[in-house]
Amino acid sequence: MPSKTSFAFIEHFKQMRQQIRELVALVVALSVAINLISSAIYDTWGAVFSVTAGLIVIGACSAYVVRSRSRERKFNAAITAAFVIEGEEQSQVRATPGYTFGSEFARIALAVFEENPALRDQWIKGPFVNYTNLEGGKVLAQPGLGVRLATEIAEYLVLAKLSIHLTDYFNKSGFDGDRIAHIGRADLPHVLLSNRVLELISKDRQDRPGFQWENDDEMSESRDGWRVVSQFAGNKYYSHFELTLPRGTSVSREENGSLVFDSPAIRLSISVSFPGYRASMPYTYHDYVMGIEFPDAHDYKIHLSISGEVKNPLFGSRGRWLYYGWVESFIEDLDQHYDYRSLFKRINWESTEMLLRVLPDDLIKLRHVDNENNRAEQYEKPGGEAGDSL
């Protein structure tokens, strides 16, 4: 799990800028002192030699200071997310109480399965990883059709969280609107075409069956200053997608599938991979919290990787770096809510597990009844327009 200090790289560069100014001032002060000492050399060798030698020494010292303070320009963070399936049928993706990513993964999977049964068929067709025995005792592991869909769901969740995080960050006062750009669905065709989940959920509601509205005005993107951000239609789900980024930032996808956010100051890369392997969530969490007994609980891990590079540590003024402060807080947000190891650390699972083990049997039975009720509610379609959110 990445340490908290690894999330402070933007602040590090802001502090580094101040340190460089102080060191440059120190160099200038020392040069004045050296100039006094070199007066004797001036009398001996003349003005041209003294000035040339002095400028060379000052330039070399300044270059060394800047270089030594600008070496650590790259950063990265690795986050391990997980989702849980109940039973042998992969369609039973279960919500994970207390764990944001697992619950959101189950909700989005359910919405995708209902609106596009073909994707559901791909999900349940065979295991996530197919193993083939080769000659010489070697085994070939090939990903199943569900691997791509799981990766697309996870990537959608990361982008949706980034969208909300950016909106919240730039809604704060003090930001110049001319330095901010709003990148919407229409601006990202290359991203949408390669992620079926993002394309499906962000598609206009009037183009999707099941979403009801009273009149044309209700379907408009904005009504009296309000925008429809999300809406449920049964288990189907619509969510408006927009990224608020510093002006000059471009979004692209590399050949390896990574999303790249390239700005004048920072180049940020986000990648999601699902190898189809099991996670290591405590089986007691499945039992005590989710109400799934050990043989029926199957958890899988998804790797989220965020890496980047500060292009120019001396970029702009201190105020301009504030437009990139969201990077640190976004990684911290992902680590806290999407890394399943953070969940068990946050709730102190070892102590919690011991407490649950000593609960009376009647409370344990009551807990299983509650979990069965929650499970039924999870797969029951909510009614009408109750899911509307403005």
59-86 confidence digits (pLDDT tens):
777 776 666 655 567 889 999 999 999 9
Enter the tokens of residue 210. Answer: 């099941």
Q: Are residues 143 and 290 in the same domain?
A: yes
More confident residue, 33 or 105: 105
For position 377, what pLDDT does the model report?
Answer: 42
In a domain, 296, yes or no: yes
Structure tokens belonging to residue 54: 């002095």
Domain count, the chain: 2
Domain assignment of residue 27, given as a range: 4-69
Q: What's the mean pLDDT in 228-256?
A: 91
Residues 174 and 313 in one domain: yes
CB proximity list for 312: less than 8 A, separation 6 or greater:
264, 265
Q: Within this chain, do residues 196 and 333 fall inside the same structural domain, yes or no? A: yes
Mean pLDDT of 337-341: 96
Burial (0-12, 13-18, 19+ Cβ within 10 Å), 320:
middle
CA–CA separation, 76 vs 306, rounded Å? 5
Average pLDDT of the segment spanning 320-331? 89
Q: What is the distance between the terminal CA atoms of the chain, rounded to a whole angstrom?
A: 36
CA pair distance 270, 51, nearest whole angstrom: 51
143 and 182 belong to one structural domain: yes
Q: Give yes or no: residues 128 and 251 share one domain.
A: yes
* Main-chain phi, psi angles of 226, to 5 degrees: -105, 145
What residues contact 301, with CB distance under 8 A and at least 6 apart? 80, 81, 82, 275, 277, 278, 279, 280, 340
The token pair at 83 is 């989702």
Which pair of structure tokens corresponds to residue 92? 């039973």
One domain, residues 95 and 174: yes
Q: What is the pLDDT of residue 85?
A: 93
Mean pLDDT of the residues in the chain: 79
- For the segment 213-235, the average pLDDT, to the nearest whole number, is 64
Does the pLDDT value for residue 341 go beyond 80? Answer: yes
Which tens digit of pLDDT belongs to each residue from 4-56? 434 455 555 555 555 666 666 776 767 766 666 666 666 666 666 667 777 78
Pairwise pLDDT comparison (70 vs 328), residue with the higher score: 328
In a domain, 326, yes or no: yes
Mean local confidence (pLDDT), 85-94: 83
Q: How many CB atoms lie within 10 A of CB 385?
A: 14
- 3-class SS at 183? strand
Does 387 have pLDDT greater than 70? no
Confidence (pTM): 0.78
Instruction: Please say which residue of 69, 94, 114 terminates a domain.
Output: 69
Res 318: pLDDT: 62
Q: Tokens at residue 318, please? A: 């201190």
Q: What are the contacts of 6-9 at 24+ separation with CB within 8 A?
A: 6/75, 6/76, 6/77, 7/77, 7/328, 7/331, 7/332, 7/335, 8/328, 9/75, 9/310, 9/327, 9/328
Q: Where are the alpha helices (DSSP H) in 223-294?
A: 283-285
- φ, ψ for residue 202 (rounded to 5)? -90, 0
Given this model, what pLDDT does residue 57 score?
A: 74
Residue 338 has pLDDT above 80, yes or no: yes
The verdict on residue 233 lying in a domain is: no
pLDDT average, residue stretch 300-326 = 82
Select from 3, 4, 6 the least CA-distant residue to 307.
6
Q: Are 312 and 172 part of one and the same domain?
A: yes
Name the residue with tokens 């919405």.
111
pLDDT value of residue 17:
56
- Does residue 285 lie in a domain region? yes
Q: Report the candidate in 10, 6, 5, 4 with the shortest Cα–Cα distance to residue 324.
A: 10
Work out the average pLDDT over 141-170: 93
**Chain-centre distance of CA 328, in angstroms?**
11
Q: Tell me what the mean pLDDT of segment 349-361 comes to.
A: 79
Q: List, in order, residues 6 or more apart from 4 with CB less than 8 Å away.
A: 332
DSSP one-letter code for 311? S
C-alpha to C-alpha distance for 338 and 363, rounded to whole angstroms? 30
Both 279 and 156 in one domain: the answer is: yes
Q: Is the separation of the CB atoms in 285 and 349 below 8 Å?
A: yes
Q: Is the pLDDT at 329 greater than 70, yes or no?
A: yes
Q: Answer yes or no: do 56 and 112 share one domain.
A: no
pLDDT at residue 167 above 90? yes
Q: Is the residue at 14 inside a domain?
A: yes
- 150 and 184: one domain? yes
Q: What integer pLDDT is reported at residue 6 of this predicted model?
A: 44
Tokens of 255: 């050949």
